[in-house]
Copies of this chain bind each other. A is one copy, B any other.
């Protein structure tokens, strides 16, 4: 598995990816998921990938090592929309070439990409590209995308990030989101690629390859968990009695609720014995 997140902000874009690839827990490798196309002063594009490694590498080979017939590539297309279209076409090309062979082996054509950046004076854009080569773009209401093992790290993003969040603060949030994922899922691992793109810079200005020795990430890992437990401790435990004085936050109201109690009235028809199904209500056992 993998975990990548891209956050589109008013001030730029945060890109963060892990580097773990696994085929079962006994075959774990390090592959960086982020690739950067930089033409300083003109364009800065970032691709991050999740899914079947042979597929995502093939897509990047098509995307980054060849031009189209018409001579187009990520280094010369005019707009971000043209650029993401190239990525979508690369996915479709790999599907055309490899899909039938994969299908013969029962292997799903499974890949997804986060793609974003800026070309010239045009706005920054961030897209998520699916296995079918189609894509969606971030909006003000949904300023971030995740691919891979995304669920563990989603709550903190949902609670914190808006387009107005400053770039480095969003980077901090992405790293906390990654930390939660790393703690709960073995299939996501260090080192991390973190790139904070500042709108208008058109080059890499803030990048870090984060491993175990990274001071900032070490601080995040130890501080966030500690402060979280502290806040947790400061929130009142539930009380179980109705608050007559109107103070406190009782779990039960004045009318106490009841659980869904199973009635202790048993049908005496025979049912189960040692895992063997008995005839139930006239229906013969099947299977």
Q: Check B228–A260 contact: CB distance below 8 A.
A: no
Known: A93-B271, A151-B152, A213-B253. 17 other contacts (CB 8 A): A35-B261, A36-B259, A60-B262, A62-B272, A67-B270, A92-B275, A101-B286, A154-B184, A155-B180, A158-B183, A207-B258, A207-B259, A215-B243, A215-B249, A215-B250, A215-B253, A227-B234
Across the interface, A237 reaches (CB within 8 A) one of B97, B168, B207, B209, namely B168
Q: List 12 A-B contacts (CB under 8 A).
A: A32-B260, A67-B268, A68-B270, A89-B272, A151-B151, A151-B184, A158-B184, A168-B238, A171-B237, A171-B238, A193-B259, A208-B252
User: Is A30 at the interface (CB under 8 A from chain B)?
Assistant: no
| Pair A34/B259 contact, Cβ less than 8 Å | yes
* Interface stretch of the complex, out of A5-13, A117-125, A135-143, A216-224: A216-224
From A210, A225, A227, A232, residue with most partner B Cβ within 10 Å: A232
What are the residues of chain B within 8 A of A216 when measuring CB–CB? 238-239, 249-251
**How does the 8 Å CB contact mask read for A149-171 relative to B, with 1 for contact and 0 for none?**
00110111011100000101101
Q: Which chain B residue shows the least CB distance to A238?
A: B216
The secondary-structure label for the interface of chain A is mixed
Q: Does A269 contact B (CB under 8 A)?
A: yes
Max chain B C-beta neighbours (<10 A), residue from A62, A207, A261: A207
Note all chain B residues with C-beta closer than 8 A to A228. Answer: 156, 159-160, 228, 231
A90 at the interface (CB under 8 A from B): yes
Question: A35-B260, A93-B277 known; A266 and B227 CB under 8 Å?
Answer: no
Binary interface profile of A, 250-287, with partner B (CB < 8 Å = 1, else 0)? 11110011111110101111111111011010010111
Interface residue A64 (Cβ < 8 Å from any Cβ of B): yes
Contact call B155/A96, Cβ cutoff below 8 A: no
**Is the beta-carbon distance between A271 and B68 smaller than 8 angstroms?**
yes
| B residues less than 8 Å from A55 (CB atoms) | none
What are the residues of chain B within 8 A of A275 when measuring CB–CB? 89, 92-93, 133
A271 to B166, CA, bound (A): 40
Contact across chains for A183 and B155 when beta carbons are under 8 A apart: yes
A236 at the interface (CB under 8 A from B): yes
Asked if A251 and B208 sit within 8 Å, CB to CB, the answer is: yes
